[in-house]
Amino acid sequence: MYKVYFTALKSLAIKETNRYLRIWVQTLVPPVISTSLYFLIFGKMIGGRIGQIDGFSYIEFIVPGLIMMSAINSSYSNVSSSFFSQKLQKNIEELLVAPVPTHAIIWGFVIGGLGRSLIVSALVTIVSLFFVPLKVYSWPIVIGVLLLTVIVFSLAGLINGVYAQSYDDIQIVPMFIIQPLTYLGGVFYAISMLPPFWQGVSKINPIAYMISAFRYGFLGSTDIPLTTSLVILLVFTLALYGLAYYLVDTGKGLRS
């Protein structure tokens, strides 16, 4: 039985991987180009005028945030668009009636988002080497935080795909929720630089914890205690996985 389940998971994961690799010019290249512009404009042209933050040059400080921003957008958009497309084409209904466990369905899509975001993150990291030497304080923290964050937003993309009724619904969440939260999550500044009130407001933003923990992995410096960030990440991972499992297992919004 477990062999059958593994075969189903492997088939879904390969299908999702082939989907974004087949159109790599649309899925892998744009985030690398846009992030390169951030490096050029904010890192080189403006960074020298800003000076240091927490003892690091401005471009060193923003590199982890830009890598994380690319990973978040890639994982979310990959799963949300893929899941909604298959929902629209009624392919999801075939999966629901097939002897495929709910866990395999969820992880099949999550692995697709995970693979795409990891490739994008690697490409963005390579581009960053043209602007600043790579410094990593702790590889386990870098990898662990990146994986958890990508899983969180892959699950969020799947949940959005369940509720979406049109392709416009797929674009609303990243445009009006994820993008603002990412920019206000400390990608381009340290939360400790803000007045006390706005520091408190920033700490309501879950993406601030992800970026802070990821930056700690690179620089060994953080605005928020690492343990707090990891707990927040784990809570979001479990909560979103539980919701995704419930929606897929019950077929809410998926069955005609």
pLDDT digits (tens, 9 = 90+) for 81-104: 999 988 888 888 878 787 888 899
Q: What is the reported pTM? A: 0.92
Question: How many angstroms separate the first and last alpha carbons of the chain?
Answer: 29
Nearest to 96 by CA among 105, 88, 83: 105
Say yes or no to pLDDT of 12 above 70: yes
**Mean pLDDT in the chain?**
88
* pLDDT-above-70 percentage for the chain: 95
Cα distance between residue 143 and residue 90, in whole Å: 36
Could you tell me how many residues make up the chain? 256
**Angle formed by the axes of helices 206-219 and 58-88, to 10°?**
130
Report which listed range, 46-55, 153-162, 187-196, is most confident.
153-162
Q: Does residue 197 have a pLDDT over 90?
A: no
Contact 105, 95 (CB under 8 A): yes
Structure tokens at 255: 């069955």
Judge whether residue 174 has pLDDT over 90: no
pLDDT 10s digits, 60-78: 899 999 999 999 999 999 9
**pLDDT single digits (tens) 113-154:** 999 999 999 999 999 998 888 889 999 999 999 999 999 999
Residue 205: band (very low, low, confident or very high) from pLDDT cuts 50, 70, 90: very high
- Reported confidence tier of residue 165, pLDDT bands at 50, 70, 90: confident
pLDDT of the residue at 1 = 59
The C-alpha atoms of residue 86 and residue 93 are separated, in whole angstroms, by 9
Report pLDDT for 48. 66
Lowest mean pLDDT among 31-35, 191-195, 229-233: 191-195
Choice among 125-139, 147-161, 189-203, 230-244 with the minimum mean pLDDT: 189-203
pLDDT attached to residue 255: 65
- pLDDT single digits (tens) 17-41: 999 999 999 999 999 999 888 888 8
Four-point Cα dihedral 22, 27, 28, 31, nearest 10: 170
pLDDT at position 64, please? 93
